[in-house]
Amino acid sequence: MNKNLLITGANGQLGSELQQLAAHYPLFRFFPTDVDTLNLCNKRDIESFIQQNKIDYVINCAAYTAVDKAEEDVELCYKINRDAVRNLAEAAVGKAKIIHVSTDYVFDGTSQSPLKETDKTNPQSIYGKSKLDGEQILMEISPESIIIRTAWLYAAFGNNFVKTMIRLGKEKESLNVVSDQWGTPTYAGDLAKAILDIIMFGEKTLGFASGIYHYTNEGICSWYDFCLKIHELAGIKTCKVHPVSSAEYPVKAKRPMYSVLDKTKIKSTFQLEIPQWEKSLEKMTVIL
């Protein structure tokens, strides 16, 4: 039987990649919405949308993601990343299952080995704090939900590091990029597929394995390494990229120095294979 799947924040990076995959998942009927069609700040609207469209699953891609701006725009950031998640959880509980997306910024970046779902959280930015609050509220109200923490997300849609580095690489003769922060890039198309496969897995096994999971592409790099690879794949040869320390590149929100996520749990629970970050970047730069 067909399942009705609500995508919130569907015009963002992840939401757009999910919509691209719709044709490959005929079991699902997609209901893409964004702030103009379903504003998550309005609980009544969410309740009636879920009821009227008999929604079985919600993939929550809606978020406030302007990490530096959030340090000043605190109220709005919490309204979307915490309060709207509460609205969604209350509206969906007992009716639709939720897959919510969170971030590596819930960690403080002091770890020296890949972070597990059970590792201590200690967010250092308003964005990270608001996302952690969202996670906790969701699990209190609707513990049967799935939360997927991801990192360094990019897509063919929207603005992101990959597109910015391509643009700057074409415009400038040189660039400074931070080389002492470590993580893993994530192609939103891979994450979108993983989310849909997780729902399919639950449908086939008659179980929805609730809990927190970590998902990024495979591998580790710094932002500097990431930029070099982007320029290589995009054929940019005229821009010299200089490695700089975080201290030399001040930003408003504190970033984790190390936020490599351990993906053992998501891979073993849902039998997922995760592509290496360079391979996925190659796929994306071909599209651009």
- Side chain identity, residue 213: Y
Active site residue 105: no
58 binds ligand NAP (CB under 6 A): no
List 105, 127, 154, 213, catalytic entry = 127
How many residues sit close enough to ligand NAP to count as binding (CB under 6 A)?
A: 25
From the list 55, 63, 98, 221, which residue makes contact with ligand NAP (rule: CB under 6 A)?
63
Question: Exposed, middle or buried by CB within 10 Å (0-12, 13-18, 19+), for 30?
Answer: middle
Are 267 and 142 in contact, with CB atoms under 8 Å apart? no
State which of positions 131-170 bind ligand NAP (CB under 6 A).
131, 150-153, 158
32 binds ligand NAP (CB under 6 A): no
227 binds ligand NAP (CB under 6 A): no
Least distance from C-beta 145 to ligand NAP, angstroms?
A: 13
Are 98 and 145 in contact, with CB atoms under 8 Å apart? yes
Q: Three-state SS string across 112-134, please?
A: CCCECCCCCCCCCCHHHHHHHHH
Give the Cα separation of 64 and 266 in Å (integer). Answer: 25
83 binds ligand NAP (CB under 6 A): no
Least distance from C-beta 173 to ligand NAP, angstroms?
A: 27
Give the Cα separation of 231 and 167 in Å (integer). Answer: 10
Least distance from C-beta 113 to ligand NAP, angstroms?
A: 20
**Number of residues assigned to the chain:** 288
253 binds ligand NAP (CB under 6 A): no
Q: Name which of 62 and 178 has its Cβ closer to ligand NAP.
A: 62
Q: Name which of 89 and 101 has its Cβ closer to ligand NAP.
A: 101
From the list 3, 5, 8, 187, which residue makes contact with ligand NAP (rule: CB under 6 A)?
8
- Determine the interface stretch with ligand NAP among 58-66, 91-99, 203-211, 268-276 (rule: CB under 6 A): 58-66
From the list 5, 6, 50, 65, which residue makes contact with ligand NAP (rule: CB under 6 A)?
65
Alpha-carbon distances, residue 147 vs 59, 68, 283 (angstroms): 10, 23, 26
Cα–Cα–Cα angle for 162, 166, 168, nearest 5°?
A: 115
- Determine the interface stretch with ligand NAP among 31-39, 136-144, 170-178, 245-253 (rule: CB under 6 A): 31-39
Least distance from C-beta 205 to ligand NAP, angstroms?
A: 26
State which of positions 99-138 bind ligand NAP (CB under 6 A).
101, 103, 131
From the list 21, 35, 257, 272, which residue makes contact with ligand NAP (rule: CB under 6 A)?
35
Given phi > 0 = left and psi -120 to 50 = alpha, else beta, which region is 87?
Answer: alpha
Residue 118: both structure tokens together: 């059970």
From the list 14, 77, 156, 221, which residue makes contact with ligand NAP (rule: CB under 6 A)?
14
Contacts (Cβ under 8 Å, ≥6 apart) of 270: 194, 197, 198, 201, 209
List the one residue out of 136, 54, 60, 134 whose CA is nearest residue 95. Answer: 54
Rounded-to-10 torsion of CA 201, 203, 204, 209: 50
Residues that bind ligand NAP (CB under 6 A): 8-9, 11-14, 34-35, 39-41, 61-63, 65, 80, 84, 101, 103, 131, 150-153, 158
Would you name the residues annotated as active-site residues?
A: 127
